[in-house]
Amino acid sequence: MYQLKPAFQRLLTPLMRGLRSMGMTPNQLTLLAILLSAFMGFSIWLHTRHFAWILVVPIGYFIRMALNALDGMMATTYEMQSKTGQVLNELGDVLSDACIILPMALIPGNNLWLTSVIALLAMLNEFAGVLAGNISGTRRYDGPMGKSDRALMIGFFCLIYFFFPSISGWIVYLFCAMGILLIWSTINRLQKGIK
């Protein structure tokens, strides 16, 4: 998924210019993405009462990925990079993942133990990217289970789950596969960072 980023950014360029003309900053976009992720997690909880709320997740993931791309584009285009922005980006990714992944334990057939392991592996994966960057000088985003890949898998599952609620138990198999791919991604990032 990360390889598709340049094409996605080109599509977002007019929106980025419009947001900047309104006075938006990269850090504000990052904070919006974190708040959106918290709302997505809340929506997963709400779906246990009103099932349609689960649709917020795939829609929210698309918006979150756009916001994540826009903040970096804006910072680069308008030379607004900052250390605060770097911290917000890294912490924001970890917090956003936790906000969305942990409430997935509420989906019938899932369990808190497995969900917690996936949240931890996602955090370690991002940490490995930062650590490899400190060693090699380049932040690593290697897959096969980066941030955008996780978004695609969870978002797609929630979309299918909305139309076919009986597949809820498949979340266990999805998370097991995601866990294996997260470990693979983490090893990839560390190996490429120390080469």
Instruction: Give per-residue pLDDT as tens, 147-192.
Output: 999 999 999 999 999 999 999 999 999 999 999 999 999 999 999 9
153: Cα separation from own chain's centroid: 10
34: Cα separation from own chain's centroid: 10
Q: What is the pLDDT of residue 3?
A: 59
Burial class (CB in 10 A: 0-12, 13-18, 19+), 128: buried
Contact 68, 85 (CB under 8 A): no
Q: Which two tokens stand for residue 69?
A: 């791309």
In angstroms, rounded to a whole number, what is the distance separating the alpha carbons of residues 64 and 171? 22
Contact 71, 11 (CB under 8 A): no
Give the side-chain half-sphere CA count within 13 A for 80: 17
Q: What is the pLDDT of residue 195?
A: 81
The CATH number assigned to the domain holding 74 equals 1.20.120.1760
CA distance readout (Å), 86 to 15, 26, 31, 113, 130: 22, 10, 12, 31, 10
Q: What is the pLDDT of residue 180?
A: 98
Counts of helices then strands in the chain (DSSP H, E): 7, 0
Domain range enclosing 17: 2-194
Q: What is the pLDDT of residue 7?
A: 77
- The structural domain count of the chain equals 1
Write out residues in the chain with pLDDT < 50, as ranges. Answer: none
